[in-house]
Structure 1
Amino acid sequence: MSNADLAPDAATATATATAAGGRAGFQQWAALAALTLAVTLLAVDGTVLALAVPALVAELEPTATQLLWIGDAYSFALAGLLISMGTLADRIGRKRLLLIGVAGFGAASLLAAFAPSAGWLIAARVLLGVAGATLMPSTLSIVRNIFTEARQRTRAVAVWSAGASGGAALGPLVGGVLLEHYWWGSVFVINVPVMLLVLAGVAALVPESRDPRPGRFDLLSALLSVAAIVALVWAVKHAATAGLDLAGVGAAAAGLVGAVLFVRRQRRLSAPLVDLTLFARPVFTGTVVASLIAIFAFSGLLFFFSQYLQLVRGYSPLQAGLRELPLTLASIAVVAIAAAVLARLGVGRALSVALLTAGAGMVVLTFGEGYAGYAPLALGLVVIGLGVGLAFTAATDAVLGAVPKDRAGSASAISEMAYELGVALGIALLGTLQTVLYRSALPDLSTLPGPTGEAVHESLAAADKALNGDGQQGVEILAAAREAFVHAMQTTSLIAAALLVAAGVVAWKLVPSPRDS
């Protein structure tokens, strides 16, 4: 990397010295704090809305399909654009794209906060996803560039991963505090002051970096990648809710054609949008596949767990957020041991053990959902948090260590795309499965008035709104609806646990485990 590729400021000078082989100093760790704050907020934004669902349903009255779109439109937009934005960051400068994304994320947050309808909120969530797509690969590739010593990079990645996994789990607590005192839109307004702080920190502390030989940005490849991902995700979501029909099959076919054309074009280009040779490295491919499966399982369950705490256990939003805190604390605590575990076990074994641990925690949580006490739930959350925190660190470190730092943006984008695609598909498929199982376990609703019966059939949140204060029959039907929701969650949790075990096996088989001497 030449000096011409870097901004001529003090932060850049320090980064250049580090890139030459020195250990990271105060400048780099301070920059990491700003980067971690950005990714923490992104992760919070991905899960904070789950806690606001009951209040949101009461005010905006979305359909079940709209509610799912509100949950996963953000992740779909992120997944569709991550590859393009990661490669763009390598070309125009990671810091520059990061600053643009931070400003855009703050503006989109205000649009979401004051959405007057479900459709408006879905559109605002898409814009948040677009802005978020500029942030995720930029932050991670900057970490790869300013931490060049292996053990320091692992520690830095552990901190970054704690921001991602801890932020995802912290979302319900943040939402609970806000929803205890303000309206549901406050979960988005809080983004604005935090993003202003990130903007100042990134501008002052983060060095500029880019690929010194990036080649031309191929717009057609970018369009093909977006078309392929969005079409395939939409087809899966549509099939999960409406079954197989001509529209779903057509979208799947269009997505597959787009994917094939994208891959063929990358093979012909001298400067491809995605370096397909990365997938020839077992550590890269195995890590991406294992991460996709794991996040699919984790996010699908987390989306409904906050609703379970409020609608079944009867906790307020703040109480529910506090009871999810063990997951956050456990995932953050992993920072203290991650580097030592990776050095002792190697990446593949560490990732496998982490995923199997998370799967075991999911089983504990499954049984805890059927008991009145909180202790089994807390134990399950702690075990899941330890497993997920270590898995994020191992997977991220493996991806960054497998590629040259000049291609860190592109590699980070692929890794993050797998993450966000897993989130979107987890909410769409496991969320849909949860809904189907809930409806199949409901009692006979024919004795209820038409609108009330439809509300109960729609979702537990809608049932709670329609049946509260509706006499003895309403109390009995609501109790039956809650029981149906619990049975559905237990089945979904066991499926998620099985998927985490499968991801652990994939990591053990495909990801090498070299150990530090």
Structure 2
Amino acid sequence: MTSTARPEAEPGAGHRASRWLALSVLVLAVLLVAVDATVLGLATPFLSEDLKPSGTQLLWIGDVYSFIIAGLLVSMGSLGDRIGRKKLLLTGAVAFGAVSVLNAYATSPEMMILARALLGVAGATLMPSTLALIRNIFHDPKERSVAVGIWGAAASAGAAVGPVVGGFLLEHFWWGSVFLINLPVMAILVLVGIKLLPESKDPAPGPWDLTSVGLSLVGMVAVVYAVKEAAVHGFRWDTAAAAVLGLGALFWFVRRQLTLPAPLLDMRLFHHRGFSGAVLADLLTILGLSGLVFFLSQFLQLVQDRSPLEAGLIELPAAIGAVGAGLMAGYAARRASVRSTVSGGLVALGLSLAACTLIAADTGVVALGVALFVGGMGAGLAFTVTADVILSSVPKEQAGAASAVSETAYELGAALGIALLGSIVTGIYRDFAAPAGIPGDVSAAAHDSLGGAVESASALPQEQAAALLAAARDAFTDGFQTAAMAGSAVLFATAAAAWFMLRGQKLEDGVEH
């Protein structure tokens, strides 16, 4: 896609070396947000012991970050197009570092929920800015494919390195340390970014419509909340009210965008079949993958009895596969085709999840590593090519808004995946029969979660404890295997949809003019 509009300081990215150095700063930001999304899962048991949140508060601590990010991504992508993506990225980085301190030193569950919400606001400024800046720094499509591959690899690597870093920190320091690691990274990002990143924005953006910002936030948060609550507690009147509120707000948001002279999100982007297909592939892929990854860490620690660091290291092959495939994805899509690369990646990911239906308490490290490596390769191929398709489908001045749609699909898919696949795991787990003679309060705690079963079993005689843990672990494994089967079915269906929706889609070859 060509465009006559040029970003303000584009010549600053003219030298080849400075372009790649600028990319290294953007990769740092992505790495950090991805790490931050995964370390909390490992820190949760330690945090729970210290802050003693209720079950509902614990869910909010885990969820509010993704709620706020999902609700604000489109608004922040559009804001970056208006005020400048470099300015938004660096401001968000400073805020992310400051709020990380608030997370680390939270003294109550309420303070932790607020801190996680504020971290979500800061995180929403970082992701769309990074992808949009890549669109404006790299004009040669082949170079841009490599840059997007590196960007995608960093996101995948961050998600897998998070458990390793988190596991190491939790074995040596207190739980707040998993948030304080953000500070030195953010300091480097800001200091180097000021020098190396070129500023870019839409030359004629129009005003930032605050009504649309509010509708987007309310709509996304209410819909994601309704799905999560319905998955955990069933469909109640309050869940239905949240769903109606959310869908109403999103419908009003779309109607408003179609009438505004300078919309927050140009809905005409979705008329492009390649753009819509890539966004849908992102959403469904993450839906199928995230719920399973969320429970894999628990499986490794609570069923296979591994340390947080061991669990993190076992998940590392997924990152290695994703990084390698992400770097080759652009080349593969040009040599074969976009649809075969994306669909092939999704099939590989589906096969990886199908293999997880065979995982049991005695499954060895090699079998786990192979399944995760294949899944990582599939994710690396699919995500990198869809990101490239999304970026090349729009004019440069709308790069922020397009990037934000891509990121919103990712966050929404993650929230829905954890909710829907999580409800399968939780539903099957809670049905297990406790052995005879187990006290009622211990049985109730064990049925609440596998973590609760491990904790409450410590108060029982050895024989009873072993019987309770065996029943709970078997039930969790059954739930995990069923969720893996559902996730693989979603991914195979997504591969088929991508094959049709991305028909005829190509990555650009020449230098843009």
The TM-score normalised by the length of structure 1 is 0.94
Match of 1:106 in 2: 97
> Are 1:162 and 1:332, in contact at CA under 8 Å, matched by a contact in 2?
yes
Match of 1:323 among 294, 309, 314: 314
Quote the Cα distance in structure 2 between the aligned partners of 1:96 and 1:476.
Answer: 58
Match of 1:468 in 2: 458
Quote the Cα distance in structure 2 between the aligned partners of 1:85 and 1:114.
Answer: 27
Match of 2:404 in 1: 413
Match of 1:21 in 2: none
Quote the Cα distance in structure 2 between the aligned partners of 1:459 and 1:118.
Answer: 19
Match of 1:483 in 2: 474
Aligned-residue Cα RMSD (Å) equals 1.8
After superposition, what is the alpha-carbon deviation per residue over 1:154-177, rounded to whole angstroms, capped at 9, x for unaligned? 000000000111111111111111
Match of 1:257 among 248, 255, 271: 248
State the 1:449 CA deviation.
2.6
State the 1:264 CA deviation.
1.1
Match of 1:134 among 113, 116, 125: 125
User: Is 1:6 equivalent to 2:8 in the alignment?
Assistant: yes
> Are 1:72 and 1:427, in contact at CA under 8 Å, matched by a contact in 2?
no
Match of 1:154 among 137, 145, 149: 145
Report the 3-state secondary structure (helix = DSSP H, G, I; strand = E; otherwise coil) of the residue aligned with 2:430: helix
Letter of the structure 1 residue corresponding to residue 259 of structure 2: R
Quote the Cα distance in structure 2 between the aligned partners of 1:425 and 1:104.
Answer: 27
State the 1:140 CA deviation.
0.5
After superposition, what is the alpha-carbon deviation per residue over 1:46-83, rounded to whole angstroms, capped at 9, x for unaligned? 11112223323333333444333322221111010001
What does residue range 362-511 of structure 1 map to in structure 2 within 5 Å?
A: 362-369=353-360, 371-440=362-431, 442-444=432-434, 447-468=437-458, 470-471=460-461, 472-511=463-502
Letter of the structure 2 residue corresponding to residue 465 of structure 1: E
> Are 1:369 and 1:377, in contact at CA under 8 Å, matched by a contact in 2?
no
Quote the Cα distance in structure 1 between the aligned partners of 2:308 and 2:423.
Answer: 23
Aligned residues: 505
State the 1:232 CA deviation.
1.2
Deviates more, 1:330-339 or 1:410-419: 330-339
Match of 1:275 among 262, 266, 269: 266
Paired-residue identity, %: 48
Quote the Cα distance in structure 1 between the aligned partners of 2:290 and 2:110.
Answer: 23
Deviates more, 1:105-114 or 1:333-342: 333-342
Report the 3-state secondary structure (helix = DSSP H, G, I; strand = E; otherwise coil) of the residue aligned with 1:104: helix
Quote the Cα distance in structure 1 between the aligned partners of 2:63 and 2:419.
Answer: 7
Match of 1:236 among 222, 227, 237: 227
What does residue range 351-366 of structure 1 map to in structure 2 within 5 Å?
A: 351-366=342-357
Match of 1:209 in 2: 200
Quote the Cα distance in structure 1 between the aligned partners of 2:174 and 2:217.
Answer: 34
Match of 1:42 in 2: 33
Letter of the structure 2 residue corresponding to residue 454 of structure 1: A
Q: Structure 2, unaligned stretches of length 5 or more?
A: none
State the 1:333 CA deviation.
1.4
> Are 2:90 and 2:190, in contact at CA under 8 Å, matched by a contact in 1?
yes
Match of 2:23 in 1: 32
Match of 1:308 in 2: 299
Match of 1:66 among 19, 37, 57: 57
Report the 3-state secondary structure (helix = DSSP H, G, I; strand = E; otherwise coil) of the residue aligned with 2:194: helix
State the 1:119 CA deviation.
2.9
> Are 1:64 and 1:458, in contact at CA under 8 Å, matched by a contact in 2?
no
Match of 1:514 in 2: 506
Quote the Cα distance in structure 1 between the aligned partners of 2:280 and 2:121.
Answer: 24
Quote the Cα distance in structure 2 between the aligned partners of 1:391 and 1:515.
Answer: 14
Q: Structure 1, unaligned stretches of length 5 or more?
A: 19-23
> Are 2:321 and 2:373, in contact at CA under 8 Å, matched by a contact in 1?
yes
Letter of the structure 1 residue corresponding to residue 186 of structure 2: M
Quote the Cα distance in structure 2 between the aligned partners of 1:85 and 1:41.
Answer: 18
Match of 1:79 among 70, 81, 87: 70
Quote the Cα distance in structure 2 between the aligned partners of 1:95 and 1:507.
Answer: 33
Letter of the structure 2 residue corresponding to residue 414 of structure 1: V
Quote the Cα distance in structure 2 between the aligned partners of 1:147 and 1:289.
Answer: 25
The TM-score normalised by the length of structure 2 is 0.95
Report the 3-state secondary structure (helix = DSSP H, G, I; strand = E; otherwise coil) of the residue aligned with 1:298: helix
State the 1:396 CA deviation.
0.5
Quote the Cα distance in structure 1 between the aligned partners of 2:253 and 2:341.
Answer: 33
The 3 A distance-change label for structure 1 pair 255 and 142 is: same
Quote the Cα distance in structure 1 between the aligned partners of 2:204 and 2:322.
Answer: 38
The 3 A distance-change label for structure 1 pair 418 and 54 is: same
What does residue range 188-199 of structure 1 map to in structure 2 within 5 Å?
A: 188-199=179-190
Deviates more, 1:286-295 or 1:226-235: 226-235
> Are 2:334 and 2:507, in contact at CA under 8 Å, matched by a contact in 1?
yes
Quote the Cα distance in structure 2 between the aligned partners of 1:2 and 1:349.
Answer: 32
> Are 1:364 and 1:376, in contact at CA under 8 Å, matched by a contact in 2?
no
State the 1:4 CA deviation.
10
Letter of the structure 2 residue corresponding to residue 175 of structure 1: G
Quote the Cα distance in structure 2 between the aligned partners of 1:348 and 1:458.
Answer: 43
Letter of the structure 1 residue corresponding to residue 452 of structure 2: A
Quote the Cα distance in structure 2 between the aligned partners of 1:429 and 1:245.
Answer: 16
State the 1:469 CA deviation.
5.5
Letter of the structure 2 residue corresponding to residue 503 of structure 1: T
> Are 2:434 and 2:443, in contact at CA under 8 Å, matched by a contact in 1?
no
The 3 A distance-change label for structure 1 pair 370 and 314 is: closer
Quote the Cα distance in structure 2 between the aligned partners of 1:308 and 1:473.
Answer: 21
The 3 A distance-change label for structure 1 pair 345 and 371 is: farther
> Are 2:5 and 2:396, in contact at CA under 8 Å, matched by a contact in 1?
no
